[in-house]
């Protein structure tokens, strides 16, 4: 019986061939493990909660798929929550996890979440891993992207093309993601000798329709228009590109656009979108790995990882020189740069 029990728990002490025989017979006779009894014996329910602020976003759906694949391989069950940045909705989800005795929580925290908000879950024995967003000065485990570097790469690329009238579009102030990306935008601009004002960041949009409306409204004003837009994510970039096209402007010739996420659609958009890779799958898998290490050793020091992004250059910045546009690139670098430059945009040079 001990061999059967170990095989059903995928113990490394059992040979693979033996495990396969046991699992095959269990399936043949219709055996189902009594998880309640297992939880009483091990102290683990094998339940993990996953909470995001926008579950339908392609970036988060990719990340969720990676998390689910990693967890399901060892038989964990997943409870999913999309809190939409509503703290009460997040709180009810976390309380429900406590009621079910969940082992852990992987969470992109709602705006305004504090470490203390998650303390009751931790006190009940649950492990918490923050993902994508963090909490300032937290002692919690987390895995995030280097958001400052993400936007720094996007902005620096535009600056290298000769742009000075650069706008950052999208993101919710007060989140570590948006604030980090704005920091990267400012640092890149200052490194190039510019001093951007806060008005160079039009915050708010995080989806296609919102970005579309924002760009249409901006072009209806008498304000100086940007020659380049560094977008908070790919969806914002797609919305901006659609609006520019409706306004009769050609993306990559009249206005350059850069996104962040490197979604599949970025490769086939019109034109293909220059974007910064945001490590969705790696984030998800790393969060699960950290969660498992925390459950195995509750007293270990905080595990806090920041992933390094990289930029994929495509046509949305005019990289394949349009007719009549002067290339500013060194041809040996395999990248061409156009001359959509102008006076300083919302900044003191």
244-249's contacts with Cβ under 8 Å and 24+ in sequence apart are 244/215, 246/216, 247/215, 247/216, 247/219
pLDDT of residue 335: 33
pTM for the full predicted model? 0.80
pLDDT of residue 10: 61
Give me the half-sphere count of Cα atoms (radius 13 Å) on the Cβ side of residue 57: 21
Neighbouring CB atoms inside 10 A of 326's CB total 10
Distance CA 349, CA 345 (A): 9
Is the C-alpha dihedral spanning 281, 286, 287, 289 positive or negative? positive
Look up residue 228 and give its two tokens.
């380049």
Look up residue 87 and give its two tokens.
């703290």
pLDDT of residue 200: 97
* pLDDT by position in tens, the chain (length 349): 566 555 555 656 667 777 676 556 556 655 445 444 444 344 568 899 999 998 888 999 999 999 999 998 878 999 999 999 999 999 999 999 999 999 999 999 999 999 999 999 999 999 999 999 999 999 999 999 999 999 999 999 999 999 999 999 999 999 999 999 999 999 999 999 999 999 999 999 999 999 999 999 999 999 999 999 999 999 999 999 999 999 999 999 999 999 999 999 999 999 999 999 989 999 999 999 999 999 999 999 999 999 999 999 999 998 533 332 322 233 333 332 333 333 333 343 3
Edge to edge, the sheet with strand 127-131 lists 77-82, 47-52, 104-107, 127-131, 141-145, 304-307
Residues 6+ apart with CB under 8 A from 268: none
Q: Domains in the chain and their CATH numbers?
A: 1-32 (no CATH), 46-145+280-307 (3.40.50.2300), 147-277+310-348 (3.40.50.2300)
Question: 167 in helix, strand or coil?
Answer: strand
Preceding peptide of 11 cis, ω within 30°? no
């Amino acid at each position: 019986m001990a061999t059967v029990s170990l095989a059903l728990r995928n113990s490394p002490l059992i040979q693979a061939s033996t495990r396969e025989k046991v699992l095959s017979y269990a399936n043949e006779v219709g055996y189902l493990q009594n998880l309640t009894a297992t939880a009483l014996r091990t102290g683990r329910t094998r339940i993990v909660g996953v909470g995001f602020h926008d579950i339908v976003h392609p970036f988060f759906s990719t990340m969720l798929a990676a998390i689910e694949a990693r967890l399901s391989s060892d038989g964990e069950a997943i409870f999913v929550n999309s809190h939409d940045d509503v703290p009460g909705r997040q709180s009810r989800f976390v309380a429900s996890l406590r009621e079910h005795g969940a082992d852990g929580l992987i969470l992109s925290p709602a705006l305004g979440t504090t470490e203390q908000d998650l303390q009751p879950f931790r006190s009940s024995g649950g492990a918490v891993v923050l993902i994508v967003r963090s909490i300032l000065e937290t002692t919690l485990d987390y895995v995030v992207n280097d958001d400052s570097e993400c936007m720094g790469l996007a902005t620096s690329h535009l600056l290298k093309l000769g742009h000075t009238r650069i706008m950052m579009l999208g993101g919710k102030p007060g989140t570590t993601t948006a604030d980090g990306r704005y920091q990267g935008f400012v640092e890149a601009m200052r490194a190039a000798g510019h001093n951007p004002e806060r008005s160079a960041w039009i915050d708010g949009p995080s989806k296609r329709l919102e970005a579309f409306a924002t760009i249409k409204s901006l072009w209806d004003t008498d304000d100086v228009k940007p020659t380049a837009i560094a977008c908070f994510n790919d969806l914002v970039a797609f919305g901006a590109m659609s609006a520019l096209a409706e306004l009769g402007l050609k993306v990559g010739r009249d206005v350059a656009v850069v996104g962040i996420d490197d979604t599949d659609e970025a490769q086939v958009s019109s034109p293909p979108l220059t974007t910064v890779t945001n490590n969705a799958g790696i984030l998800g898998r790393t969060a699960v790995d950290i969660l498992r290490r925390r459950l195995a050793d509750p007293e270990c020091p905080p595990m806090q990882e920041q992933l390094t992004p990289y930029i994929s250059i495509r046509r949305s910045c005019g990289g394949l020189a349009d007719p009549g546009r002067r290339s500013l690139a060194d041809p040996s670098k395999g990248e061409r740069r156009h001359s959509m430059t102008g006076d300083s945009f919302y900044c003191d040079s």
